[in-house]
Amino acid sequence: MSKKIRKKSSKSDSSVTVRAATVAHTEQAREAGPSPSPAATTKTKPRPAPPASQGAGLAEGSPAPPFNLPREDGALVSLADFAGGKLVIFFYPRAGTPGCTIEAMDFTRLATDFAVSGTAVIGVSADPVKAQLSFRNKHQLSIALISDEKHQMLEAYGVWGEKSMYGKTFMGVLRTTVLVDGAGRIARIWRRVKVEGHADEVLAAAREL
C-alpha cells in the first residue's frame, strides 16, 4: 500500500514541476515579446556604425559646423549669414506635429525678445521646403525653417539618430537646441528637449552671453 502511495506522489510531484516550468517559460516569452520570423532573422543585418564625422566631438565650446541649406521660401541660409551675432538653432522631428508646433510658436512669440538680445533663431528638420512653407503659413511663424532632407546638417550636429516608439526603432531627428555665440562657437546644447517652457529658457541663456 505504501509503495503505491509513493509512486502516485512521485507522479504528482513530476506533474507540478512540469506545469511550473511551462508557466515560467510562458512568462518569459511574454516579457521578450513575439519571436522574429525566420525571414526577419535571416535578412536582418547589423546596422553599420555612423561615420566619425557625424556629430563627433560636438560639445559646448567647439566650433559650430557650417551649413548652407534652403529655408521655407527657397532662399539659401548659411552659418556665415550670422557671423558676429548669436544664433539659436532648434532641431525638431517633423513640421506640423503637436510638439514641434508648440515649440515653433513659442520661439515665434519670443522673436522680438531674441532680436533685442542680438540673437537670431532658426528651426531645422528633415522636412522638404514645401512642408516647411506650409508649416510657417499655417501657424504664422516668423522664424526661418531650414530644410535638410539629406541630413547633412542634422548629422553634423549629431541630432540624427535612432529613436523608438511603441516598441519600434527608427532613424529620425532628436529634438535638440543649440546656442551659438558671436564667435561661432557652441555656447549651450539642450538635448532631449521638452517643449514646455523651453524657448523661455533658451532666451534667458542667450541674454547671459
Burial (CB count <10 Å: 0-12, 13-18, 19+), residue 170: exposed
125-163: pLDDT as tens digits: 999 999 999 999 999 999 999 999 999 999 999 999 999
Q: Which DSSP string corresponds to 184-201?
A: SBEEEEEES---TTHHHH
Torsion of CA 167, 135, 200, 126, to 10 degrees: 50
Check whether domain 68-208 has CATH 3.30.70.20, yes or no: no
Rounded to two decimals, the pTM is 0.73
Question: How far apart are the C-alpha atoms of 9 and 16, rounded to whole Å?
Answer: 11
Measured in degrees and rounded to the nearest 5, phi and psi for residue 43 equal: -90, -20
Which residue in 88, 89, 95, 100 is the catalytic one? 100
55 is catalytic: no
Q: Give the least confident one: 31-40, 49-58, 90-99, 200-209.
A: 31-40
Mean pLDDT, residues 115-132 taken together: 98
Domain boundaries, the chain: 68-208
Q: What is the pLDDT of residue 57?
A: 53
Asked if the model's pLDDT at residue 3 lies above 90, the reply is no
